[in-house]
Amino acid sequence: MELGIFYLVSALLIGSSVMVVTKRGLFSAALFLAMALSLVGVLFAMLGADFLFAVQILLYVGGVIVIIAFAVMLSNAEQLKAEPQTNRQWAPALALCLSLVLMVMVGVNRHSFDGVLAELAPTTKSIGILLLGGQILPFEVVSLVLLASLVGAVLFSRKEKN
């Protein structure tokens, strides 16, 4: 049962990801990216990470996809559908990616991972305690990074004064 759901989600995820990188129209590629990110959220839910599932839907599907859709609509990307959207290096790129997957799979299959299996429980409270306890330094540093990216986005998207 669980294996069947996993294979279904994996097939949909791989299919929509392939559409993201090969589709000519960038807006439909963005919609396929939304589907792929939602399916990654489903995988998080299957792994017992309920808080990350919510974060994935809220931040990626609700935030990043909207920004990408705005960027597609504010540039001329959608009018360029008739031109080929990939360069001529797809054969070496495909060989590189296939060899990478092959190497990783051989390595993963040869290695046996021993460890403690987590029991499924709500994680939101524990993650809050972890973020304000053990991970307090990266938490504060990330707030600085977010401030810098806010200022940078305003600076870059401002109209130049002539």
Partner 1 sequence: MAETVTTCAVGLQHYLALGSILFAIGIFGVLTRRNIIGILMSVELMFNAANINLVAFNRFVHGGDLWGQGFAIFVITLAAAEAVVGLALVLAIYRTMKTTYVEKMNLLKG
Residues 81-120 interacting with partner 1 (rule: CB under 8 A): 84-87, 89-90, 93-94, 96-98, 100-101, 104-105, 108-109, 112-119
Q: Are 41 and 51 in contact (CB under 8 A)?
A: no
Q: Are 56 and 40 in contact (CB under 8 A)?
A: yes
Residue 20 CA to residue 24 CA, distance in Å, equals 9
**Total count of residues recorded for the chain:** 162
What number of chain residues touch partner 1 (CB under 8 A)?
84
Shorter beta-carbon distance to partner 1: residue 82 or 113: 113
Torsion of CA 60, 66, 67, 71, to 10 degrees: 140
Q: How far is the CB of 82 from partner 1 (least distance, A)?
A: 13
User: Pattern of binders to partner 1 over 19-48, x per CB under 8 A?
Assistant: -xx----x--xx--x--xx--x--xx-xxx
Residue 102 CA to residue 149 CA, distance in Å, equals 37
With binding defined as CB under 8 A, does residue 54 bind partner 1?
A: no
User: Pattern of binders to partner 1 over 130-159, x per CB under 8 A?
Assistant: xx--xx--x---x--xx--xx-xx--xx--
